[in-house]
A and B are shown apart, each in its own frame.
Chain A
Amino acid sequence: MLFDLALGFSVALSFDNLLLCLLGCLIGTLIGVLPGVGPIATISILLPFTFGITPVGSIIMLAGIYYGAQYGGSTTAILVRIPGEASSLVTIIDGNAMARSGRAGAALALAALGSFAAGTFATIVIGAAAEPLGRVAFLLGPEDYFALIVLGLVFAIVLASGSILKAVIAALIGAILSTVGTDIETGVQRLTFGIGSLFEGINVSILAMGVFGVAEILRNLEEHHSRPVIERHIGRLWPSGEEFKRAAAPVARGTVLGSILGLLPGSGTLLAPFASYVMEKKISKTPERFGKGAPEGVAGPEAANNAAAQTCFIPLLSLGLPPNAVMALILGALTVQGIAPGPQVFTKYPELFWGMVASMWIGNLMLLVINLPLIGLWVSLLRVPYRLLYPAILLFCCIGLFSVNRLPEDIYFMAMFGMVGMLLYKFGFEAPPLILGFVLGDSLESNFRRALILADGDWFTFVESPIAVILLLLAGAMLAATLFPKLRKGREEVLKDD
């Protein structure tokens, strides 16, 4: 492997490839920061420009855009409570809470450092075990995915810091929103009310920008007496020793979790940060700090999403099976260059594979160098008066969304979901369970149907697979632990009084 890595670095460190890597990281950071504009649209527009460069150069740049966007997305999430990318949704919860209490710089630094650590680890994983790990995708059947998603939905309830009942309702609303669109099997329109732009369902970024971004601005406008949402006083930029100590273990766990979930097709990369957040909250001795600016809740999920963003290259390269839309685009780019991804990549195009692996590490280093000095600049954005900042944020949201599909309806829906988010807030519901329910609802339904059809309607299919059974039991246990903590806590308090 050392020899292979040396080969990789010799490829990645060539002047052209370094430049392409930097270019990719810069573009990625930019589109990550801008809400709405995502790596899918960007990469597809830039794709024709990659035909002229070498295959390894084009994959280095496109990969840089993808993981660069993961870095950039958290900046928006932390500073203005809007997910720059769908994968930075969870970072909002504690990252923004940190920013509100004057620790914006620390939150940004933790996110960047956590991502870097995760990126380094994921690079090693890809280099060391891409080939065997690719097979993980074959191990899971529809019934296993169904069980995994049930577990994910239980996360929605654990995520909540308030009423459990309201979290369940929010997750269900999210799941119902995910059914909007044309049913694939029967062609029936579900909850589209004849609106053409709903035929293909609701886009997650529209929903997220509405219930987080727009709703947040509305909320702040309403409560203008308590206006300094973002502290004028920014605080120290660098995390304190205490914060570093709290963040270290979550980064390690988030990295491992993200590396595994990134291998799974479909919602793996989106699920990773949620899973990390829930795990940190569950094992924390002080779960009540979560949602109020716990550094663990920033560092863990950020590490998880960056690790997943890199290990999701494994199924693409080792099996030729792109696990998400961005990987599918990169598959397209490689195909044009005459390279068919698959197990033969390792032996047939070693300089391509190892060059990409080495460039990923270099790219992560570049992102760290780009992001850390920028923290001061980002944070100073918070000093912009709200009367200027809010219209600017709204404008960016609108431009970002409009640039993707150019449908005015998308903007109307974002505004409508903003009102919905505001109402939810008024009635004490939280947005994260709703978003998680939405993200997972679609896969829940399709895997459920698929499993039953493949098993010819036999319900026992869900308990015949050991993986499914383990995952379902885990979900049950977690649910029980969440539903009855009052009993446990009550007892603990009684014991304490004795």
Chain B
Amino acid sequence: MIPKDLKYSKEHEWIKVENGVGTVGITQYAQEQLGDIVFVELPSIGREVEKMEAVAVVESVKAASDIYTPVSGKIVEINEELNSSPNLINEDPYGKGWIFKIELKEPKELDELLSAEEYERLITEG
């Protein structure tokens, strides 16, 4: 269920890094907790952000939640598809439901994130 090749934050974001650029989304567990997502507020491209800064907002029928960036860096791409189909996050949280891409400033920060096993423990033990 929880992809092994990703890193996770305690706030339920995942990140996948390729060539110094991280793709960020929210986990299967997070989308289940939120319920049907109706709106996503995306960050602007070029914005410089610090690790754990709130950069996007996901609104479901139950609640609005901030999405935090698990690493520091510059936003280089956003998933425009989410503007018209926010439900992609529910349907495919680790794929088509990605939220933004970030150019890493401090690749070392990745070491502080959770592995798939550690994240699984977080959501099962609370």
A and B from one assembly?
no
Interface residues of A, Cβ cutoff 8 Å to B: none
Interface residues of B, Cβ cutoff 8 Å to A: none
